[in-house]
Amino acid sequence: MVLKIFKNFLKRTFSHIFKNKKDIKLGFYGPPNAGKTSLANRICKDFTGEEIGNVSKIPHETRTVQFKEKVKISYKGKTMIFKMIDTPGISTKIDYEDFLKYNLKKNVAKIRAKEATQGVIESIKWLDDMDIVVIVLDSTENPYNQVNITIIGNLAARKIPVLIVANKIDLKKSNIKKIESAFPEYDTIGISAKYGNNLEEFYESIFKLSKKI
Ligand SMILES: Nc1nc2c(ncn2[C@@H]2O[C@H](COP(=O)(O)OP(=O)(O)OP(=O)(O)O)[C@@H](O)[C@H]2O)c(=O)[nH]1
Ligand SMILES: [Mg+2]
């Protein structure tokens, strides 16, 4: 009897503590095709065994916001629980004709373009909900563009802590320095989401960033 009361007490106390402990909402943002889903998948796979979504060489593969809850990331003996939010790639111009070169049929390309446009709106709508944001950029591409500057400006205005990931460092054309000099006020980590290079440094930065919330 006493044991039962004690057990119930423990259950109540701990569920109360647990409820108050909010998971950190971590958003992956960036232009299409940069590797947001690849990175989110790698993290989710490592810590939950499951992926978050599809990856494709065709831009705008992710066209709705997708989540993975209760992702417990452990790094150097510390553990933090995240809600991972993978967002559709943001772009200023979406033209169905751009998809035709990937051998999509005209009607499929038109639907993709329409969904991709809605996806951009959804991504921006979700910005306010984020605790921290990882901006994923393709480090083989020129970082000085309207999309990157707009995303970063929006996050700065909302005072949301940001980490920039220079992805695809496995490719010869990769240039991390160019990203660093484009956005010198932010930490930039070079990684390869595809091959898992430098993820330790990435986790370290995420833990550091989470302290700024
Ligand atoms: N070489 C190389 N390719 C990568 C890397 N990360 C992702 N890719 C490739 O880049 C393409 C786009 O990857 P995704 O993860 O779908 O990119 P995304 O940012 O989620 O794209 P959207 O959903 O369209 O916004 C795929 O062909 C991936 O295999 C990387 O680190 N190195
Ligand atoms: Mg994606």
Amino acid 182: pLDDT? 97
**What's the mean per-residue pLDDT of the chain?**
94
**Which residues line the pocket of ligand 1, CB cutoff 6 A?**
30, 32-38, 55-57, 59-62, 88-89, 136, 167-168, 170-171, 192-194
**E strand intervals along 76-187:** 78-86, 132-138, 162-167
Q: What are phi and psi of 80, to 5 degrees?
A: -135, 145
Cα(14) to ligand 2 centroid in Å equals 37
Closest residue to atom 26 of ligand 1, CA basis:
57
pLDDT, one tens digit per residue, over 40-54 is 999 999 999 999 999
pLDDT, one tens digit per residue, over 109-145 is 999 999 999 999 999 999 999 999 999 999 999 999 9
Atom of ligand 1 nearest to the CA of 59: 24
CA distance 49 to 137: 25
Other Cβ atoms within 10 Å of 94 Cβ, number: 19
Closest residue to atom 11 of ligand 1, CA basis:
57
Evaluate if pTM is beyond 0.85. Answer: yes
**Residue bearing tokens 């831009």:** 59
Cα(42) to ligand 1 centroid in Å equals 12
Instruction: Sheet containing 78-86: give its strands across.
Output: 66-75, 78-86, 24-29, 132-138, 162-167, 188-190
Residue 169, token pair as written in the block: 């460092």
Confidence of residue 77 (pLDDT cuts 50, 70, 90): very high
